[in-house]
Chain A
Amino acid sequence: MTQGSPRSPHPIPTRSTIGQAAIAGIREPLVLSVLSVTAGLVVWQLTSTLAFHSILFPSAAKTAAALVATIAGGTLAKDLFATLYRVLAGFAIGSFFGALCGLVMGSAPVVRRFFEPYLNFFRFVTPIAWIAPATIWFGIGETSKLFLVVYATIFVVLVNTIAGVTHVHRDLVRMAQAFGGRGWQIFVYITLPATVPFILSGMRIAMGNSFMTVIGAELLAGNNGLGYLIYSSRVFFNSDVMFAAIVVLGTLGFTADRIFHVAQHRLFWRYRPGRP
């Protein structure tokens, strides 16, 4: 019998089995992933050298060389961190307020109905549409980019959180009521934990949106960041640098998503979506 601290997850049946399954399940897909990436690079190299002018479509090798050069020159790190900072800060702020407003709107039908028209209006207005107004309001500095990333994040998280709150199973709420649970207790012990998976899946989608939006903002208004690097390379027709920046961007997003996925399973492993 286990009498350990009830806070610490018991190592045998739950957390470690999930971890072991993840490690065991990784090997085969890993081989496949390496194969996939290698094949992609080969196809890229062949098509670019055989079918296109290298200025229009630089080869994988040329792009890699440009990547090494920009890393060595120190410009890449500067642009990468500028972009990463904007994404992470905006994503964090947007997710926090998205979840907060979603919990309030999900719990209070009156508030939800009042704000629903605005929610369903703004979530169809792409963040890109706000680049021009944002630069007029906040200039081309950090504030406008932060604003845009927050905008890109908040509605997805908000909509998902509302869905989570309103889909809490009736039996869960009734069960808590039958045990004498008061309104705030039902919120803390039932609604909030039941909504966690919805918030997290909203955040994961929102992270993708953040990456897309920040590049748009940097392309059109800015003086650093990966988007700026892509756009400014056009001036000297440095298409290999453009491609290097795109590769870095994709890799960055991919890595961020993996980290989020792993963190979700490590930190929030209790909160599985779906039925108990």
Chain B
Amino acid sequence: MSTRHITFEGVAFGYRTSHGEVLSGLNLELRKGEFFLLLGPSGCGKTTVLNLLAGFERPPGGQISVGGTPVTAPGPDRVVIFQGDDSLLGWLSTVENVEFGLVLAGVPRAERRRRAERALHMVGLTGQDRKYPHELSGGMKQRVQIARALVCEADVLLMDEPFAALDAQTRATLQDELARIWTETRRTILFITHDIGEAIILGDRIGVMRAGPGSSIKEVVANDLPRPRSRGDPAFAAMYARIERAVSEEVKRTMRRETQ
């Protein structure tokens, strides 16, 4: 445990406009196999952090490295689960979507199918493999994305508010299942959210971001509630109150800035 896996050192990002930079002097460390939640008010640059780690954008300042290697481009060691369903291939069936990363990696067909079926089973989509994305519900589409990420056995999963567009019931179910899947697979996960409850259900550690511009990590809260976690647990409520205090200060700051 606690071997450093991902590091952000003095990362800055954004254009020096009247609104200032998006991120400045951001430092963050993720340990190998940990479930890290990044929480913050909307517009604070959470998604930017994820895009930088994914390699979609290059930081003009500071350095990001994974396993000691600086991030310079997207790579199959860091797989992304997007918020919307725009990243599913509408012309491929569920199982073909899950296999997509393996197709790019040149994995033979039979092995591809076997691994995809296993991943679909893990996310509870057994028997749905021949359906097309337009035949799936929002929750099922996000399960497909998770299966597609799991099948590649990438070390790092980057999740950008993947459950934000789902109804409350589906969201709670998927949170519980993701927690279970993570317990079984122990990938390093960076999960972005603005939902405090979601952060507590999922995260080993919860990084609260400062309000932008020039955002960075305000504090990192260790969350050692026993898994599986329950929203009815008194310790959950105490943790919620603590994190809410930290977040609401930042939300107020954002609102003050916006009304000025």
CB distance from B6 to the nearest CB of A (A): 15
Given A176-B104, A178-B76; A13-B89 close (CB under 8 Å)? no
CB distance from B51 to the nearest CB of A (A): 8
Residues of A within 8 A of B109 (CB): 6
Residues of B within 8 A of A194 (CB): 91
Given A2-B130, A181-B104; A172-B89 close (CB under 8 Å)? yes
Q: Which residue of B lies closest to A1 (CB)?
A: B127
- In this complex, how many residues of chain B approach chain A with their Cβ under 8 Å: the count is 42
In the complex, are the beta carbons of A180 and B87 less than 8 A apart?
Answer: no
- One of B78, B93, B104 near A185 (C-beta < 8 A): B104
In the complex, are the beta carbons of A271 and B91 less than 8 A apart?
Answer: yes
In the complex, are the beta carbons of B56 and A13 less than 8 A apart?
Answer: no
Task: Check: A276 CB closer than 8 A to any chain B CB.
Answer: yes
Q: Which residue of A lies closest to B126 (CB)?
A: A1
B74-96 contacts to A, CB under 8 A, are 74-76, 78-80, 82, 84-93, 95-96
- Cα separation A2 to B131 with both chains bound (whole Å): 11
Task: Check: A12 CB closer than 8 A to any chain B CB.
Answer: yes
In the complex, are the beta carbons of A171 and B82 less than 8 A apart?
Answer: yes
Q: Do most interface residues of chain B lie in helix, strand or loop, or is the interface mixed?
A: loop
Residues of A within 8 A of B74 (CB): 174, 177-178, 180
Q: Which residue of B lies closest to A193 (CB)?
A: B91
B9-24 contacts to A, CB under 8 A, are none
In the complex, are the beta carbons of B130 and A12 less than 8 A apart?
Answer: yes
Task: Check: A27 CB closer than 8 A to any chain B CB.
Answer: no
- In this complex, how many residues of chain A approach chain B with their Cβ under 8 Å: the count is 30
Task: Check: B61 CB closer than 8 A to any chain A CB.
Answer: no
- Cα separation A13 to B228 with both chains bound (whole Å): 36
Task: Check: A275 CB closer than 8 A to any chain B CB.
Answer: yes
Task: Check: B196 CB closer than 8 A to any chain A CB.
Answer: no
In the complex, are the beta carbons of B134 and A177 less than 8 A apart?
Answer: no
Residues of B within 8 A of A189 (CB): 89, 100, 103-104
Given A2-B130, A172-B86; A180-B105 close (CB under 8 Å)? yes
Residues of A within 8 A of B82 (CB): 171, 174-175
Residues of A within 8 A of B93 (CB): 10, 14
Task: Check: B177 CB closer than 8 A to any chain A CB.
Answer: no
- One of A14, A179, A270, A276 near B101 (C-beta < 8 A): A179
In the complex, are the beta carbons of A276 and B113 less than 8 A apart?
Answer: no
- One of B86, B91, B127, B158 near A169 (C-beta < 8 A): B86
Task: Check: B52 CB closer than 8 A to any chain A CB.
Answer: no
CB distance from A223 to the nearest CB of B (A): 46
Residues of A within 8 A of B55 (CB): 177-178
Task: Check: B152 CB closer than 8 A to any chain A CB.
Answer: yes
Residues of A within 8 A of B182 (CB): none
CB distance from A117 to the nearest CB of B (A): 31
Residues of A within 8 A of B133 (CB): 276
> What 15 additional pairs, Cβ within 8 angstroms, besides A13-B131, A14-B135, A174-B80?
A14-B130, A174-B54, A174-B74, A175-B80, A176-B104, A177-B73, A178-B75, A178-B76, A178-B79, A189-B89, A193-B89, A196-B91, A270-B91, A276-B133, A276-B141
Which 6 residue pairs are nearest across A and B when measured between Cβ atoms? A276-B90, A180-B76, A276-B133, A179-B101, A177-B74, A270-B91
